[in-house]
């Protein structure tokens, strides 16, 4: 009994003195707070998703969706295991509907068919030369504007996010299980 109490006490000591555990705990609390706020309106869902994406974009874009073997040159092809990881990470955000995730998966599948047909061996893989969420090749400049953008409700379930005077995205949302989810981004 005394041993169990000592182990529990030491575990709490390690947990609360471990900065990594504290940081992960803070991140999870912030994520839960953001997801809870997102259930109120489509605008809040879009704003929360954009905040989440700005914090996770680099990590998501580092998931290698296409295998590009250089020596000897072999045709590019989609890495299905990494696509599953990418989709799972997007789903974990809590802001995207299955409809949205299925459309991304379908798009990647179509790109893979094209890669297999054309046997591309150099250059950016066709269909993967842009950010699939922000729908732009110039996402690095737009990422700076993500947290400054303006959100406007267009209809009951459509929201426009304006980066600057020229660039914008339209989000279509649906409500399910008491929260708004993003179905498409155009």
pLDDT at 30: 55
Domains of the chain in start order, with CATH, are 38-185 (3.10.450)
Residue 12 has pLDDT above 50, yes or no: no
> pLDDT tens for residues 129-169?
888 998 888 766 666 666 678 999 999 999 999 987 778 99
Closest CA to 66 of 77, 80, 58: 77
**pTM for this model (two decimals):** 0.76
Give kind and range of the element (H or E) at residue 153: strand 150-155
Give kind and range of the element (H or E) at residue 80: helix 80-92
């Amino acid at each position: 009994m005394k041993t169990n109490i000592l182990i529990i006490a030491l575990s709490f000591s390690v947990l609360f003195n471990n900065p990594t555990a504290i940081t992960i705990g803070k991140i999870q609390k912030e994520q839960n707070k953001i997801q809870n706020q997102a259930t109120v309106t489509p605008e809040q869902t879009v704003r929360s998703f954009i905040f989440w994406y700005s914090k996770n974009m680099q990590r998501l874009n580092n998931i290698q969706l296409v295998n590009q073997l250089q020596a000897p040159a072999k045709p590019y092809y989609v890495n299905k295991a990494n696509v599953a990881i990418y989709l799972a990470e997007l789903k974990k955000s809590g802001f995207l509907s299955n409809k949205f995730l299925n459309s991304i998966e379908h798009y990647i599948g179509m790109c893979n068919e094209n890669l297999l047909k054309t046997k591309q061996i150099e250059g950016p893989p066709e269909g993967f030369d842009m950010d699939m969420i922000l729908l732009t090749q110039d996402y690095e400049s737009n990422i700076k504007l993500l947290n400054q953008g303006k959100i406007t409700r267009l209809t009951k379930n459509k929201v426009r996010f304006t980066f600057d005077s020229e660039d914008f995205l339209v989000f279509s949302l649906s409500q399910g299980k008491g929260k708004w989810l993003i179905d498409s981004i155009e």
